[in-house]
Structure 1
Amino acid sequence: MGGESKSTTATWGERYTWPDGLAVEVSAPKPCKPSEYSMPQKTERAVKITLLVTNGTEEPFNAGVLSVGGDAQFAGRKAEAVYDSGGECGGGMDSVTVLPGKTFEMSQAFAVGAQPGELQVVLQPNFGAAKAIFVGQA
């Protein structure tokens, strides 16, 4: 394996670049209204972030492996990913191939508390890579 996996903290609108050249930017969370068929049901409030993935590596990258939905917190508690394929909050992460030198935009919504608070989203392109931790108000 080799190499150290360090974590770096960024905030909305900033770019994090891994040593291999893969980069990601996360937009500030925007409110979205889950449809009646969204999961989880009866969400108090939901916000959606947009991720811009830039493949600066020499290999194709599967954007679906960024594993954004599983490691998110809001106000010190786990933030559940919202799956709302027919609604405003969207259907979750896309498993698409991003070719070297190309960019791809995708989004993910989260169920958050009724009051504004701090949202933390952790991105990791593969198991051994450093974690990019994005933190800011939502």
Structure 2
Amino acid sequence: MSQPPYPPHQQPGYQQHPQQYTPQQQYGQQQYRQQQPYQQHAYPPPAPAPKRRRRVWPWVLLAVVMVPIIGFVGCTALLAGGVAAVDEARKGGTVALGDTFTYQSGLALNVAIPKPYRPDNQFELQRDEVGYETTVTITNGTDKPVGAALITKNATLNGQPAPELFGDGTLATQDIAPGQSLALPFRFKTADGARGPLQIAVTDTFNEPVFFNGNIG
């Protein structure tokens, strides 16, 4: 009996060759792949970025450094202002003999024009010396008592010291009440025949001196 024919792939000596596609078939396969729907995978949403914490220590350090500086500057300004006010209140000046100078505190000083003076004690002056006398008037325009003993006086003639002559009434220890005045004699001596600019300085306590200027001769 004759055997039925084998299918081509079962026939003896059959070798299966890899399938080859024409360019048209390859193009069709590429279209097919491109047309396949894209399957989007569901991913969890990204976690929010952590908030950046602000650095606090630079501000703390700045405050630690700046607060003392600002305080020092403020205290210095207040101190300077206070010192300036005190200096202005203590400020003296220069006026002519016979005029009145008034401090900011209200204390007023006046020195009259000097006149020749001859002391009762002949030994107070040498043969080549002459004496002069003036009146220093202290008017208390402040709200506190003023001690007359704290008022100092000195004189110069032609740039040379004119020594003070001490006698009755020249050393006063009275307290001058507010609104009251006290007149004190001030005596000094110079060389006989000396002429030129005369300056009498009067100072109250810790205030600056007041210079009263004039001439002799």
State TM-score, norm by structure 1.
0.83
Which residue is 1:100 aligned to? Answer: 178
Cα separation, partners in 2 of 1:38 and 1:102, compared to 1, 3 Å: farther
Whether the 8 Å CA contact 1:45–1:111 is kept in 2: the answer is: yes
Which residue is 2:212 aligned to? Answer: 134
For residues 21-62 of structure 1, the C-alpha deviation after alignment (integer angstroms, 9 at most, x for no partner) is 0001110001110233554x4161110110111100000101
Whether the 8 Å CA contact 1:122–1:131 is kept in 2: the answer is: yes
Q: Give SS of 2:109's match.
A: strand
Q: Which runs of 5+ in 1 are unaligned?
A: 86-90
CA RMSD in angstroms comes to: 1.9
Whether the 8 Å CA contact 1:48–1:109 is kept in 2: the answer is: yes
Matches within 5 A, 1:1-138: 2=83, 3-4=86-87, 5-36=90-121, 39=124, 41-42=125-126, 44-68=129-153, 71-85=154-168, 91-115=169-193, 116-127=195-206, 129-138=207-216
Structure number having the greater strand percentage:
1
* Alignment length (residue pairs): 129
> Would you identify which runs of 4 or more consecutive aligned residues in structure 1 move more than 4 Å?
none
Q: Which runs of 5+ in 2 are unaligned?
A: 1-81
State TM-score, norm by structure 2.
0.55
Larger RCO: 1 or 2 (CA < 8 Å, sep 6+): 1
